[in-house]
Amino acid sequence: MNKLYIWAVVFAALMIVLTYLSVGTTEGGLNDDVVNQLAVAGAVALVVISVFVVVKYVRQMQVDTADGDLAEESWDGIGEYLNEVPKGWAILYILTMIWGMWYFTMGYPVNAYSQIGEYNEDVAAHDAKFAAEYKGITGNRLVEMGESVFLAECKVCHGISADGIDGKAANLNQRIEAVAVKHAIMNGANNFTTDFPGGMPPGLNYMFASEAELDELVNYVVAGMPADDTRGAELFAQGTCNGCHGDTGEGMPYAGPKINGYDIATVSSVLKDGKKGAIGTMPKFERLNAKQIEAVSAYITSLSK
């Protein structure tokens, strides 16, 4: 007797015994519970059918030989038999295609109800209601709203006092740090693609004759570009920084953001597109609506004043 059949019988018997032990030995067993009886009967049938199918096809692979006419084409000596498609496979394939067309048109069409769709509609309706209700908020009320958004969304990285938690994130109590300015000059900054699609190219440190000149420029920007620092202004122009950020660092639409201080537009750009800098990468906050972005930007802007 082929070993395959022996192992099949042993396996089937073992599975049937384990099934009985897991159900038949429990309280009530198979005597009083029809559900248990049906479960065991189904399990036995499943084991027998599965073993039979596996044995059939394994045995077929052991003893069958390929036959039929070969196609004219061959690939590296490997030919293909011109066997007909198995009838059962062809029927299942056609039925699957029919079921698929029915499912997407009648059974569960693409425009049918879905929980995700309902959630998205509810969020859109809430955002519209929120925008209409708080449209006119400005000044201190806008800053107070922004503080609430900050505590909900931003404090995890920047800390409750927005100090950056010992370098984990940017310290928002000052406009910008020297390490961030230097990193942008040397590596570029192509983050704010929504408002400033041109981006800032890398390698602008080569515009300066020495590391000392670069440090002078960095300190000039960090200090807020004071009007009496003529040397800083010269280096700013020497590095062609004014071509995108303006002569006084006020920024230019679509070219470069404001860098002489915080403003709502610049912070909003960070929230909309995220930022990659010397510390690491900050994700964009797509879950915030336009008013929330404006509010938290107003709050962060107020911190450095």
DSSP 203-250: -GGGGSSSHHHHHHHHHHHHTT--TT-HHHHHHHHHTTTHHHH-TTS-
Query: Locate tokens 């036959």: which residue?
Result: 67
Q: pLDDT averaged over the chain?
A: 86
Does position 30 have pLDDT exceeding 70, yes or no? no
Residue 179's domain spans which residues? 137-303
Compute the average pLDDT of residues 237-260: 90
Q: Tell me if 297 is assigned to some domain.
A: yes
**Host H or E run for residue 79:** strand 78-81
Positive or negative: CA dihedral 168, 170, 171, 177: positive
Q: Tell me if 266 is assigned to some domain.
A: yes
| Verdict on whether the full-model pTM lies above 0.95 | no
Within this chain, do residues 148 and 103 fall inside the same structural domain, yes or no?
A: no
Judged by DSSP in three states, 256 sits in: strand
Query: Dihedral angle at the C-alpha atoms of 277, 282, 288, 289, nearest 10 degrees?
Result: 20
Within this chain, do residues 247 and 290 fall inside the same structural domain, yes or no?
A: yes
State both tokens at 105: 């048109």
Q: Tell me if 69 is assigned to some domain.
A: no
Higher pLDDT, 149 or 205: 149
Within this chain, do residues 85 and 159 fall inside the same structural domain, yes or no?
A: no
Provide the number of structural domains found in the chain: 2
Q: What is the pLDDT of residues 113-126, one digit of tens each?
A: 778 878 888 988 98
Separation CA 290–CA 298 (nearest Å) = 12
Q: Tell me if 39 is assigned to some domain.
A: yes
Q: For the ranges 19-33, 270-284, 285-299, which has the lowest average pLDDT?
A: 19-33
Separation CA 196–CA 269 (nearest Å) = 9
